[in-house]
Amino acid sequence: MAIDRFPIDVAASVIADISSGIYRSPAGALKELISNAFDADASTVHISTNGPDFDTFTCTDDGSGLTAERFKEIMRLIGGSAKRDKGEFSPIFKRPLIGRIGIGILSIGQICRTFEIFSSAKGSPKKFRARIDLDPYMRPEARRIQLQARLQKDAKVKIGHFEIEEAEEEPDKHYTRVVMEKIIPGFQQQLRSQPMLGLGVTPKTFKKGAMADFLASVSRDTVSEHGAYAQLIWELAVTTPIRYMDGGPVRNAVKLKDLRTRMEDYQFRVYLDGVELYKPILLPQGTSVIHKVYANLNLDKQLSDSRALRIRGYLYWQNTRILPRELEGILVRVRNVGIGGFDSTYLGYPKHEGWKFSQLCGELYVDDGLDEAINIDRASFRETDEAYLSLQEFLYQRLGRETDQGAGIFTSIKSKADAIAKRRKTREAVERGKRSSEVIYGRPRQVKTEAATEPSPAGVRVSTNTIQIDEELLKQVPGRYRDLFVSVCAVVEKSLSSEVAVAKRRQLFEKLARLFSAQ
Amino acid sequence: MATFEEIERRRKRAKSSYRDAKKHFVRVEGWLPVFRAYARQKALAVHYLTLCAKDAIDVRYFRIKGVLEYDAKQKAYPTVSFIEREAQDYAVIAESLGTAKLGINGDLEAILIRPDENASNSAKLRKSFPYDIVNLDFTGEVVREGDPPYSQTIRAIEKIIELQHGANCPSWHMFLTFRACPETANHEADQELRFIIENNLQNAQAREAYGNRPAPHDLIGARYEEFLRIGIVKFLASSASNRGYTCSLENSYVYSREPRDGGPPYHIVKLIVRFGVVRPAGHLPNPHHVMAIYQESVPAIFQSQPIDVVARLQANDTRQRILEDLKPVLDELTAQSIVE
């Protein structure tokens, strides 16, 4: 019997689609430009969104820059360069390189279809301007071009074209500037949209000043209810390798000092519309909050394929809900860059832990071993990768079984929460008792105690508002028992004064004083 | 379309001129008092449209002088709109100023004259009117060589007056800066201006106000900057009267420049012009009234004399005082981490 064979083909536009749609959100795309700047040893990155219109974006870094030749190389074969061929660290600040396969430039296609790049490399007397147009390759006719037909001629697929011009530049200048125009309408609309009614935060007053003000605004519930711009700030601030807010991530947590200084040592600053971004993590949230830091979530493990998995992290728990809700969960940072956001499922933790999930957050800095597991969007992981599975197992173990104290973190949280609940119950019971006795007997009268310098016949005198006790008697009683001694004396004097002789009462009080002094 | 090399040369040339004493003299003596008056009147909410160039010295200067609304926490200038043609310079302004009322990366003339080709920018700009002060600091000529006399720049200026009127702006100021260089001038436009001036001089009052200046034809050769100064103000007065405004020249400044790259020397002319509404928006113009307003303004224009900035800077310690006044702005520019 004859078997018919047919080729399976895809349109070349699939590659263009992939190229323009790999990043989940505009922040994800801007994050890539920031990562490129970080790798290029930039000290500052300035991003402008031209809000409240949001129709032109710019991003400028003072990193090592590119020459026209290098840019052409990159653009002629996106994804064909290996950034880490010359080493794992940046030459000046010794930052661990984030980029790996050289597709960061494509991130701009997520925001707009045409853009200009200006760059000058350190030491070069030239700068270049390149205009990149991805538009023709996003049109419907591009879908009819068969990928296989292209691949038979050449192993590359065209996803856009660019024009490049050079001009003179001072050799000591080095930078890369991207100007993105004709921002994708949906994205613009999203940013311009009013947030939920009633919050009083409009796109024009989105920032509420510096990062601390922003955090105070969004910490009432969620970031998302403050609109897309607030979300953009949040995502950039959370995921990029910038410094923590003063005192962050956890105030006075000496054991987390290394994470704070690690970010400071990189000397990397990002500004969005003129405002400097910091990691918006500043815990505990409020002075009356009871909290605990699990500071040693560290792992150094050799994987079967000779990769080493190195993790440094922490978890933080507090007895109230963590806000904004976007901060609940665990954030995995690969080479200091957040992959996605805080994951409130704890990498799919298999058991239901109810309220504990909402009181817990943390970060895992993975310095080695997890690169291969990151999906192309750099916002999620390939969940079957060995390193990812090891990370997952490590986290589950820490949460469920082992901790610094030998019990699972969830168990530790449970006992801590139980202790707090028990203390609260006791306090409430005492309060309730006090309130009941007040209802039955009325409010206790305020009685003054006085040490009498002039001795009285019985040694104790009780009137409506005063208890007078001879100084000689009072001196014998240690301070901590004085209140009790005074109370006992007052009761005895009040109840026996009409039945027992003065001398006998005095003997009794002296005996009592001796008893208390012997304690 | 200009090549990258040409754009870069122009940017480099422009940079040094923004920071010199001559230019700052006009900011201090001419622009600042106007700003102060509006700031007092409007509690700092002075709506300001500017072609501020990448250093945005005017914006920074007025902020430092406390006559412009600024939210330091949000890094926002809620009443400032800026337009910049070069993408690189637009980025520098946007990144260094923070948030503004409006920022446009585009060509002002193209946006105003060809709205169909610049639909989004045009809609944004139109919506942003009215302004209290419009600062049109053109780096070149009002009518460039090769342009028709009724040039794009001239038409753009008229469009701005029209938009101000359409937005019911009762009173506002325009700061207009342009270059006067006989070598690169548009001679056809000069001849048209000359005919208009000569026509004005038929009137005895205007002739008397014109004084002992050389005849218009000779004025072109003898003092081209003066010829353009009165010619352009007269154009503004005519245009304003047709669009429902009176126009009065409050001050004008002239100074010379000699390009370092060997180009011909030229003058910079700076005008401070006040517009006051005479006909509310939506009302029909009365041709007799329009003509009367224009003719009344002509003698005052001919009587006006420009302030010689170079001469004024030589007096006592003026130059030193002006440069010291500029220092905080230059310090701020040095301190900022924006790549230029």
Domain ranges of chain B: 13-335
Structural contact between residues A231 and A224, judged by C-beta atoms closer than 8 angstroms? yes
Q: Inform me whether the pLDDT recorded for B185 exceeds 90.
A: no
Domain A13-192: CATH superfamily, name plus number: Histidine kinase-like ATPase, C-terminal domain (3.30.565.10)
> What's the pLDDT at A410?
85
- Mutant choice from B11, B99, B125 vs A, greatest count of A C-beta within 10 A: B99
Question: Three-state SS for B288?
Answer: helix
CA separation for the pair B133, B312 (Å, rounded): 25
Task: Establish if B208 touches chain A: CB-CB under 8 angstroms.
Answer: no
Confidence of residue B129 (pLDDT cuts 50, 70, 90): very high
Tokens, residue A187:
């994205």
The answer for residues whose C-beta is within 8 angstroms of residue B295's C-beta and 6 or more apart is: B203
Q: Inform me whether the pLDDT recorded for A198 exceeds 50.
A: no
Q: Which residue of A has its CA nearest to B123?
A: A53
**What confidence tens digit (pLDDT) does each residue in B88-106 have?**
999 999 999 998 999 999 9
A513-517, B126-130, B134-138: segment of lowest average pLDDT: A513-517
Residues facing A332 on adjacent strands: A364
- For chain A, the domains span 13-192, 302-415, 448-517
Confidence of residue A406 (pLDDT cuts 50, 70, 90): low
How confident is the prediction for chain A on average, in pLDDT? 84
Residues facing A299 on adjacent strands: A311
pTM: 0.82
CA separation for the pair A402, B222 (Å, rounded): 93
Residues facing A362 on adjacent strands: A315, A330
The b/e string for B108-141 (b: 16+ C-beta within 10 A; e otherwise) is: bbbbbbeeeebebbbebbeebbbbbbbbbbbeeb
Q: Which residue in the set B8, B103, B339 is minimally distant from A168, CB to CB?
A: B8
> What's the pLDDT at A385?
93
Q: Inform me whether the pLDDT recorded for A295 exceeds 50.
A: yes
Q: What is the pLDDT averaged over residues A414-425?
A: 87
Confidence of residue A306 (pLDDT cuts 50, 70, 90): confident
Contact assignment for A208 to B74 by CB distance below 8 Å: yes
Q: Inform me whether the pLDDT recorded for A444 exceeds 90.
A: no
Contact assignment for B8 to A167 by CB distance below 8 Å: yes
**What confidence tens digit (pLDDT) does each residue in A16-35 have?**
555 555 666 778 889 989 99
**What confidence tens digit (pLDDT) does each residue in B279-309 have?**
877 788 888 888 888 888 999 999 999 999 9
Tokens, residue B29:
């003596």
Give chain B positions within 8 Å (CB) of A207: 73-74, 99
Size of interface A-B (CB pairs under 8 A): 90
Comparing B164 with A10, the larger pLDDT belongs to B164
Of A316, A324, A425, A308, the residue nearest A366 (C-alpha): A308
Tokens, residue B30:
């001419």
Q: What is the pLDDT averaged over residues A55-79?
A: 87
CA separation for the pair A34, A270 (Å, rounded): 8
Confidence of residue B158 (pLDDT cuts 50, 70, 90): very high
Contact assignment for A58 to B96 by CB distance below 8 Å: no
Contact assignment for B91 to A60 by CB distance below 8 Å: yes
Q: What is the DSSP string of B73-94?
A: TTTEEEEEEEEESSHHHHHHHH
CA–chain centroid gap for A44, Å, is 21
Q: What is the pLDDT averaged over residues B194-200?
A: 93
H or E element: which one contains A162? strand A161-168
What length does chain A have? 519
A19-33, A492-506, B153-167: segment of lowest average pLDDT: A19-33
Q: Tell me whether residue A357 is exposed, middle or buried, using C-beta atoms within 10 angstroms of its C-beta: 0 to 12, 13 to 18, 19 or more.
A: middle
> What's the pLDDT at B168?
94
Query: Which residues of A touch chain B, with CB atoms under 8 Å apart?
Result: 43-44, 46-48, 50-51, 53, 55-56, 58, 60-62, 116, 118, 127-129, 165-169, 173, 175, 177, 179, 181, 205, 207-210, 213, 269, 271, 273-275
Q: Residue B40: how many CB atoms within 10 A of its CB? A: 11
Longest dimension (CA), chain B: 60
Most confidently modeled range among A67-71, A268-272, A453-457: A268-272
Task: Establish if B88 touches chain A: CB-CB under 8 angstroms.
Answer: yes
